[in-house]
Structure 1
Amino acid sequence: MKSTIHHLFFAALLGATTLSITACDDLLEPTPVQQLADDKAITDAGSARSATIGVYDRVQAYYQLNWPVLGFLPGDNVRFNGTLNQFLQIDQNQLSADNVLITEAWTQMYQAVNGANNVLAALPGINDPLLPAAEKNQLLGEAYFLRALVYFDLGRGWGGVPLVLTPTRSKENGAGLRRSTLAQTYDQVLADLTQAESLLPETATRNRAVKAAARALRARLHLYRQQWSEAEAYATQVIGSSNYRLVTPYRAISTAPFLSQESVFELTFSNSDANSMWNNWFPSALGGQFNFQPVPAAITLLNDPATGGSRSALLASTTINGSSVTYGNLYSRSAQRDDPSYVLRLAEQYLIRAEARAKQNKLTDALADLNAVRNRAGVEPSKAATAEALLLAIENERRVEFAFEADRWFDLVRTGRAGTVLGVTDQRRWLFPIPFNDLVADRSLEQNPGY
């Protein structure tokens, strides 16, 4: 039987078509895409640096389109404005195991994991005078951070997943590896973040991992695990750093040259390494496909001075056939194609700490954190006076603040509110399906219930 991990890495070869079981039997022999050939091993300073950049590139691949879509399209801010079934399934919360976006995201994520594993396995043994100890530690820290980010995303998307912690060198690697539990998956994320924080520099780089990025992701991890005091503590470390601040106006977070002081970690693009996300949001009159459209309720919230404030800049409008059409404007650099992918922002750290404090009945401090975000947006302070009212206000604030980022669906799932807010009462649908192709490749891999 072929290993799950073999299939994870060669699945990208399958393209966007759904293969039959018979076809799969003939395609299980290719070398895994991420197998590291002996003549391309990480052996010196140059190859170590290149390999680390390669891991960023693989993370960038799933954050450009697939992951944001899986974060916002199942929620209540955005609808799919087209006919492609893979998007309609996500929009309607009716995913199938052969969904192309699910398969692509899963494959891209495990490609990133394997890239990080290659760096982590090779770097400690490199002795190159051009690679000083400080830089070696930094590269190791970046690999640990990126692997933690991917496994965190895999966990919140699919639940417990196979934990691959060594490089995939051949088809046989990973044979017999089964899914870990969600708790075990998050334990691995924590272990990687702990290592990353100890190795990374205390600098303000925003498109490479540093200590603050590890702390910010750890605050998010503790929030998801309902470890309120730890979430508060790590968010406080990031908020307390002089390297970060909430920027005004709100639009400054997504205005070139990017890397604003609010950004803790983002993935950067350029015209030669393009982010085409704008094309999915812009109407055809502006050269786009208008695949993703803000729903009327989200438009109302963003345009309302009492809720959206300056976040109305996330919307723009144009006239088509004599009618005004509103579209999402977070990704707006259609000519330069260099919009970043937003991963960790300071505003989230304030709202993480607000939620964690509210859960600990620190209501005054929680309200202050919530209002820091509202104040930056030019919105009147909240007057929520109870823990229940505060938590709802924080939930609503996150909906507006991260309207078109990979946030809303995962928020409603982690808080158990996806049934109440979205009507997705079948909790089996709160997790994504394991891709069909991987189930075919390894019969020991268990599907999530309900698929």
Structure 2
Amino acid sequence: MKSLKYILLVSFCMTLVCCNKFLDVQPKASISGENIIVDETSANAALNGVYSALRTYYSVDFQSIAYLSGDNIQWTGSQSQVQEFINHQVNAENATITSAWKGIYVAINRANQVIKNVEELGDDVIAESVRNRISGEAHFIRALAYFDLARTWGGVPLITQPTLEVKDNTGIPRSTVEETYELVLADLDLAESLLPETTNRFQATRKTVWALKARYYLYNKNWHEAENYATRLINDNANYELLKPYYAFFADGVTGTRESVFELFYNANELNPHRGQWQPQQNGGTRQWAPNNTFVNLVNDPAIGGSRSALVAKDNQNRWYGNLYYRSPATDPTYVIRIAELYFIRAEARAELGLLEEAQADLNAVRSRAGIANVTTSSLADLLIAIENERRLEFGLEAHRWFDLVRTNRATSVLNITDPNKFLMPLPAEQLLVDDTLEQNPGY
């Protein structure tokens, strides 16, 4: 963890340097907070740094764990460490694992810094409503970061104070996955109390918190609360809706549509490298990630994929490629939460609660948007499989499939994983080398 803490320290300072045109003061070598976050302007600049860290870890490394570990994507490159995810034999030395872990903790450290320093600002330098908003957004991002850590690695070290020196936080043991999720919920509860109930598709609001709470409760099998929070977004049809056709939320360069609950934006100065991984050489990419034959056949079947066939296209060599990320320059958003996910969450929760007709209605709302026929079944097991299959196509090029199969205990039968230890990723080897308090996940 020493190397991680150093990276966190340097990263936060570099962020403040990059944002110094928004600051009235120069950043110091230490990130103690003294003369760094001193007013509303510098607090907002620091919050921008938290979002920047979130965009960074959601751009390639973290999402590629979800893409490649599922069964929709193939790797066309030559790096064996990438193929490890597809083979479900990931090594602790894997560079993607290391980069994702570090990137998430960078976001956490920046959020910790904002939370601590903003709460210390007096009413004479920042309005209470502004302080609450900034703190609430930082708590939301920290909650999302720990949620992503928990579903990828299980229990992790819980760090809630800023890293001030290289030696800080060394020796903190891993918490249990239950304790990690408890922190997620505590942060979401606090964010919910601090943030306004407004609609903003690029920054956290109370509605964004509700959406992540719906996902949180789904993962933790609290069906009543999952249904409750999903309903809050679905019923807000003045601001959120399933756009028709399916590709209306991403085609033609659009951003921030009514489909989107929370998406991460990029621009010409902060590009999203997703595009280069998906697009073929004729479009200036490498096509190292590509839809596999099974996914291509499913999404191109009019009765199964419907309008979701827009997710794939053919290049000049007659090869299929993913086309969710296509813009030039590479300013494609990352779609963290879409309203379609809330329909699926409510459908699954209602099915588990025995409300099969209501669950089918939610599932069929998404199917109708894709232009395919309704599903009718009186079996809970069949309905849950139908929801699983629909999620596979709806989020075919988004970071859901692997986590869906793991949380529903379906990874063994669908992916033929015989060792349940492989449902969690290994902790990065370099972290274990520098901090003997950390323990590796079983099986690695």
TM-score range, shorter chain: over 0.9
Q: TM-score, normalised by structure 1?
A: 0.91
Partner of 1:50: 45
Partner of 2:108: 113
Segments of structure 1 that go 5 or more residues without pairing to the other structure are: 15-32
Secondary structure, aligned partner of 2:48? helix
Partner of 2:211: 216
- Choose which of 375, 387, 393 in structure 2 pairs with 1:394: 387
Distance, in Å, in 2 between the alignment partners of 1:55 and 1:34 is 18
Distance, in Å, in 2 between the alignment partners of 1:216 and 1:125 is 29
Partner of 2:153: 158
Q: Determine if the alignment matches structure 1 residue 327 to structure 2 residue 327.
A: no
Q: Determine if the alignment matches structure 1 residue 247 to structure 2 residue 243.
A: yes
Q: TM-score, normalised by structure 2?
A: 0.93
**For residue 117 of structure 2, what is the amino acid of its counterpart?**
A
Are the aligned partners of 2:5 and 2:167 in contact in 1 as well (CA < 8 Å)?
Answer: no
Are the aligned partners of 1:354 and 1:367 in contact in 2 as well (CA < 8 Å)?
Answer: yes
Partner of 1:288: 285
Given the superposition, is the C-alpha separation of residues 184 and 13 from structure 1 closer, same or farther in structure 2, using an over 3 Å criterion?
closer
Are the aligned partners of 1:384 and 1:393 in contact in 2 as well (CA < 8 Å)?
Answer: no
Distance, in Å, in 2 between the alignment partners of 1:187 and 1:98 is 29
Q: Determine if the alignment matches structure 1 residue 134 to structure 2 residue 129.
A: yes
Pairwise CA distance, 1:7: 2.9
Aligned length in residues: 425
Residue deviations 1:64-104 (CA, integer Å, cap 9, x gap):
00111111111110011111122111121111111101000
Distance, in Å, in 2 between the alignment partners of 1:95 and 1:391 is 29
Distance, in Å, in 1 between the alignment partners of 2:368 and 2:93 is 44
Distance, in Å, in 1 between the alignment partners of 2:331 and 2:106 is 23
Residue deviations 1:139-180 (CA, integer Å, cap 9, x gap):
011000000000000000000000001111112321331111
Partner of 2:399: 406
Mapping 1:431-442, distance limit 5 Å: 431-442=424-435
**For residue 147 of structure 1, what is the amino acid of its counterpart?**
R
Secondary structure, aligned partner of 1:83? coil
Residue deviations 1:373-393 (CA, integer Å, cap 9, x gap):
001111111112211110000
Partner of 1:418: 411
Partner of 2:276: 279
Q: Determine if the alignment matches structure 1 residue 359 to structure 2 residue 352.
A: yes
**For residue 94 of structure 2, what is the amino acid of its counterpart?**
N
Pairwise CA distance, 1:347: 0.2
Mapping 1:43-82, distance limit 5 Å: 43-82=38-77
Given the superposition, is the C-alpha separation of residues 121 and 13 from structure 1 closer, same or farther in structure 2, using an over 3 Å criterion?
closer
Return structure 1 stretches of 4+ with deviation > 3 angstroms.
11-14, 37-40
Are the aligned partners of 2:9 and 2:164 in contact in 1 as well (CA < 8 Å)?
Answer: no
Residue deviations 1:247-292 (CA, integer Å, cap 9, x gap):
1121111132310101000100011211121111111122111101
Q: Determine if the alignment matches structure 1 residue 349 to structure 2 residue 353.
A: no
Q: Determine if the alignment matches structure 1 residue 263 to structure 2 residue 252.
A: no
Pairwise CA distance, 1:201: 1.3
* Structure 1 vs Structure 2 CA RMSD: 1.7
Pairwise CA distance, 1:300: 0.9
Partner of 2:120: 125
Identity %: 45
Are the aligned partners of 1:9 and 1:107 in contact in 2 as well (CA < 8 Å)?
Answer: no
Partner of 2:196: 201
Partner of 1:27: none
Distance, in Å, in 1 between the alignment partners of 2:67 and 2:33 is 41
Distance, in Å, in 2 between the alignment partners of 1:9 and 1:220 is 30
Distance, in Å, in 1 between the alignment partners of 2:29 and 2:443 is 31
Distance, in Å, in 1 between the alignment partners of 2:80 and 2:30 is 32
Distance, in Å, in 2 between the alignment partners of 1:195 and 1:11 is 28
Partner of 1:18: none
Secondary structure, aligned partner of 2:74? strand
Are the aligned partners of 1:97 and 1:433 in contact in 2 as well (CA < 8 Å)?
Answer: yes
Mapping 1:162-173, distance limit 5 Å: 162-173=157-168
**For residue 135 of structure 1, what is the amino acid of its counterpart?**
V
Q: Determine if the alignment matches structure 1 residue 148 to structure 2 residue 143.
A: yes
Pairwise CA distance, 1:424: 1.1
Distance, in Å, in 2 between the alignment partners of 1:309 and 1:182 is 38
